Structure 1
Amino acid sequence: MDNQDELRRQRQALKDEMEAADRGEFQAMSGASFADPKPSEGAGARLRDRSPEGPDLSMVMDIPVRLTLEVGGSDMPIRDLLQLHQGAIVELDRQAGEPLDVLVNGTLIARGEVVVIEDKLGIRLTEVVSQAERLQSLR
């Protein structure tokens, strides 16, 4: 099994863990109880094993993700896109003062407002998307 297959399998295992947690299930996916856990093998064993505290996510904590703040968007024909030049103004699909979308690897996780912190831009989160909504967007 190559690294990509292993990562896909681990991602699916995490997704299954989160879905099971949302449903309130605390039994291992294999059906084993906590008192009689089945031994696991392989790199993803810690992700599959359950404990009363939840899945062990230590394997994924150092994986880098892309955090993107989306101000807005605009649909336009290629003709108009090719005519853009320095100083051109593009109207976006959001009103001034509307919260920005916060995306992680393209998945909406929160909304917030722009703040200035010592001459740098930042964001104050005003709404965090629920875990159930985040899982739904993965499907």
Structure 2
Amino acid sequence: MSPIFRELRLERAACGSAGKRDTAPQGRRSTSCATDMSRERTRLQRLRRGADPMEISLEQAVEIHARALTHRLLGEAPSNARERATDFQKTGDSEGCVVWLRVAECAERLLREKAPAAPALDR
């Protein structure tokens, strides 16, 4: 038996529908169990195809947000990120504040990298 079907069989057993007829009206499974089974089946199919859910690090997320902000707001991106950091600080979320300050720093770095180098003056 393939690992995929073995997992589905175990999942069915967890829902209480392994080896017995469902008692829901009109031959339907209970919605919570059917929904769980459907989600699990979809997850297993994705794993079989190699489409594992994307996992990114915090640093990658900071970079993605900074790039999106600089693309959308250009020079206003760092100040916008700092405003968000202040909002998080006001609500007591210090971790969110630190992350948005990192986004602001990354946005500043991206803007510096994009800025054309000042021409050297010939003397």
Which of the pair has the greater relative contact order for Cα pairs under 8 Å at 6+ separation? 2
More helix by share: 2
Greater CA radius of gyration, 1 or 2?
A: 2
Structure with a larger share of its residues in strand? 1
TM-score w.r.t. structure 1 length? 0.22
